Amino acid sequence: MSLEQYYTEEGIGERLASMLPPMTPRQCIELSAGEGALLRPIIRKWPRIKVTTCELDPRNVSKLKSSFKGKHYNIDVLSESFESVFLGKFSRFDFAVSNPPFSWRKVSDYDISILEAFGLRDVFSGLRIRSEVLFVLQYLRLMADSACVAFILPELIVCSAAFAKFRSRLLKFCNVIAVAEIGSGAFKGTEAKTYILILKKGESDDSFTYTDVFGVPVTKRQSDFSVGLKELNIGCQPYSDSDGFSIKRGQLSGKACRSLGLPYYHTSGFFDSAIGVVPIPLKSTMITGKKILIATKGDILISRVGSRVVGRAVVVEEREYLVSDCVFRVRLPSSISRNIFLKYWVESCLPRVASQARGTCAKYITVQDLTVYLREFLQSTDENLASATR
């Protein structure tokens, strides 16, 4: 059985420990302890703290017992075993750390009982749920009032619109103390973009500090956490027709483009018509019931998704091409040199795209992300033009 374990690098644990507010906890619990990488910096910070761990892998439980004094349980914390082990111990712990599993799971009757205890069954009414959500709730059951829990969680949970309602409801039970962005690739075996999230149970604080991947701190409000920190961090109004550029996303998959026998552009590059397929004229605005997006000479094509190619940009030099749904078509004012834009993109934007791209598995950028970069480019172009005319 594969447990899909992505172990925490100890440097991340050190950073997590450095973000904690002033306190002197007596008991620390970790429900998915692995080999104890998150516990070591905590014990260095508070040598007398008592440790309790849970771990599904029996080999790791043996390592934990040999490395840390305390109580160590080989149980599935998302099962009835949790209830029997911690009977009489709920609301007792004053500190916790956690790097929970990053995964979807089929909703069980036990999962439903946890969700109902927090009034969240309406939020998660489907057949599947993220394991991270259930781990957060289990910790809240264990923690005393004013206790802190320090999580490492994927971007999907911390920033995505899909979990906005969960984050909003979560703030009824706790407040955010601090959030810090961790760069992609920080965990061996996964490219998941992650965040350190520190919560405090039962206390209200209007603001907290958000630190981006470059180490720049910004003060945020609790409501910012609800709606999604990533969007607020880039700090701009949504893309609109009033912008001096246009952004369109293709409608057809790369496979659909290929099957039509038309010239097309996908994340893997430009392709001519398929041999033996009768091409459909590009003048048609509808193919297989979908509007097609066509790129013509001078258009800029930017890969929207793909861990290896996200953010890659090219200019259409000649001909016309279908644009796949993995690609954005950007049109700039005719006065703007495409070569100047590409140079700016490669030097000023692509490094940020690579480090800040979203997604737990495949990396991607959104229209909102792209809007920020394009507005920055046009602003710098206007400033350079103004300087040249002085």
Q: Is 135 found in the same domain as 269?
A: no
* 368: nearest Cα among 224, 243, 236, 210: 236
Q: Is 214 found in the same domain as 307?
A: no
Q: What's the pLDDT band for 2 if we cut at 50, 70, 90?
A: very low
Task: Provide the CATH number for the domain around residue 345.
Answer: 3.90.220.20
How far is CA 291 from each of CA 288, 325, 350, rounded to the nearest angstrom?
8, 11, 29
In the predicted structure, residue 360 carries a pLDDT above the cut 70: no
Q: Is 171 found in the same domain as 78?
A: yes
Q: Is 258 found in the same domain as 201?
A: no
pLDDT score recorded for residue 233 = 44
Q: Is 228 found in the same domain as 86?
A: yes
In the predicted structure, residue 47 carries a pLDDT above the cut 80: yes
pLDDT score recorded for residue 275 = 61
Q: Is 195 found in the same domain as 53?
A: yes
Question: Is 40 part of a structural domain of the chain?
Answer: yes
Q: Across the chain, what does the average pLDDT equal?
A: 86
Q: What's the pLDDT band for 234 if we cut at 50, 70, 90?
A: very low
Domain hosting residue 51, numbered range: 10-234
Among 16-20, 155-159, 173-177, 210-214, which stretch is predicted with the lowest mean pLDDT? 210-214
d(CA 115, CA 109): 10
As a whole number, mean pLDDT of residues 225-233 equals 70
Of 203, 234, 265, which closes a domain? 234
Q: Cα–Cα–Cα angle for 268, 269, 275, nearest 5°? A: 100
Q: Is 216 found in the same domain as 69?
A: yes
Higher model confidence: residue 382 or residue 115?
115
Q: Torsion over CA of 187, 188, 189 and 194, rounded to 10 degrees?
A: 10
Question: Is 3 part of a structural domain of the chain?
Answer: no
Q: Is 170 found in the same domain as 99?
A: yes
Task: Provide the CATH number for the domain around residue 213.
Answer: 3.40.50.150
In the predicted structure, residue 138 carries a pLDDT above the cut 90: yes
Q: Is 229 found in the same domain as 89?
A: yes
Question: Is 240 part of a structural domain of the chain?
Answer: no
Record the pTM. Answer: 0.65
d(CA 116, CA 113): 5
Higher model confidence: residue 291 or residue 121?
121
In the predicted structure, residue 375 carries a pLDDT above the cut 80: yes
pLDDT digits (tens, 9 = 90+) for 245-291: 999 999 888 888 888 888 899 999 999 866 655 555 555 556 656 67
Question: Is 2 part of a structural domain of the chain?
Answer: no
Tokens describing residue 47 = 């040598």
Q: Is 132 found in the same domain as 64?
A: yes
Residue 63, Ramachandran bin (φ over 0: left; ψ between -120 and 50: alpha; else beta): alpha
* 329: nearest Cα among 268, 245, 255: 245
As a whole number, mean pLDDT of residues 357-375 equals 81
- What's the domain count of the chain? 2
Question: Is 316 part of a structural domain of the chain?
Answer: yes
pLDDT score recorded for residue 307 = 80
Question: Is 222 part of a structural domain of the chain?
Answer: yes
d(CA 30, CA 67): 14
Question: Is 302 part of a structural domain of the chain?
Answer: yes
As a whole number, mean pLDDT of residues 65-73 equals 95
Q: What's the pLDDT band for 228 if we cut at 50, 70, 90?
A: confident
Q: Is 98 found in the same domain as 196?
A: yes
Q: Is 344 found in the same domain as 272?
A: yes
Alpha-carbon torsion (217, 223, 229, 231), positive or negative: negative
pLDDT score recorded for residue 1 = 34
d(CA 3, CA 381): 51
In the predicted structure, residue 79 carries a pLDDT above the cut 80: yes
pLDDT score recorded for residue 147 = 96
pLDDT score recorded for residue 357 = 76
pLDDT score recorded for residue 355 = 74
In the predicted structure, residue 237 carries a pLDDT above the cut 70: no
